[in-house]
């Protein structure tokens, strides 16, 4: 069962948020994002991250980039794509504290390709925190499954694959649905310190 925009549950006091990249921050493509030119922000997404930062949240990205494992682009190109993302985000007044990447193709059998939670475990170790109550925003079922498996709060945003993910209804228990990343930022902004838990 999906609750649309319920009152926020107990969120982590650590004020970290995990974001999927394609379909959440930038427009996705069935042909993969293979160059900086192909990376274009979803309107409002960068401003939303900046707003999360102003609300005291560190944002990190967790993204499957199987295009690396498939040989569609190389690590230098992915770095250039992320340089463009970070530069545009900085112009909007925001920053991310890390971009965590699964570079593997599906047949490589790694532990980090979502829906597996490996990237989340790496994030937990890097920030030395428990991920319980850490919100994690994605547009696909595998994002939500990985978040849920890691103990995060699975939040579905209705950009990218979000509408079809919602229509299919196969989401983890407790999934919260948001219209946009800006709606997420506004909710976090309204979530005062005295409401913190954990
Ligand atoms: Mg996505
Ligand atoms: Zn992987």
Q: Which residues of 62-84 are buried (b: 16+ CB within 10 A; e: fewer)?
A: bbbbbbbbeeebeeebbeebbeb
Q: Per residue of the chain (198 residues), what is the pLDDT tens digit?
A: 455 555 577 788 899 999 999 999 999 999 999 999 999 999 999 999 999 999 999 999 999 999 999 999 999 999 999 999 999 999 999 999 999 999 999 999 999 999 999 999 999 999 999 999 999 999 999 999 999 999 999 999 999 999 999 999 989 999 999 999 999 999 999 876 545 444
CA 183, 166, 66, 132 torsion-angle sign: positive
| 3 state SS of 17 | strand
CA of 197 to the centre of ligand 1 (A): 28
Q: From the CA of 139, which ligand is nearest? A: 1
Ligand sitting nearest the alpha carbon of 104:
2
Domains along the sequence of the chain with CATH = 12-190 (3.40.50.1000)
Distance 104 CA to ligand 2 centre (A): 4
Q: What is the pTM of this model?
A: 0.93
Active site residues: 20, 22
Q: How far is CA 27 from the centre of its chain?
A: 13
């Amino acid at each position: 069962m999906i609750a649309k925009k319920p009152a926020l549950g107990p969120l982590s006091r650590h004020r970290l948020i995990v974001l999927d990249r394609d379909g959440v921050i930038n427009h996705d493509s069935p042909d993969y994002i293979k160059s900086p030119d192909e990376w274009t922000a979803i309107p409002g997404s960068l401003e939303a991250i900046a707003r999360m930062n102003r609300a005291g949240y560190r944002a990190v990205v967790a993204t499957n980039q199987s295009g690396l494992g498939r040989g569609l682009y190389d690590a230098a190109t992915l770095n250039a794509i992320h340089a463009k993302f970070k530069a545009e985000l900085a112009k909007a007044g925001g920053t991310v504290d890390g971009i965590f990447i699964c570079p593997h193709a599906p047949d490589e059998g790694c532990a980090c390709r979502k829906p597996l939670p490996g990237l989340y475990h790496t994030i937990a170790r890097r920030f030395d925190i428990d991920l319980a109550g850490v919100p994690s925003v994605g547009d696909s079922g595998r994002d939500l499954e990985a978040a849920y498996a890691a103990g995060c709060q699975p939040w579905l945003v209705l950009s990218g694959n979000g509408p079809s993910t919602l229509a299919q209804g196969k989401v983890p228990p407790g999934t919260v649905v948001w219209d946009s990343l800006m709606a997420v930022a506004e909710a976090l902004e309204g979530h005062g310190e005295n409401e913190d838990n954990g």
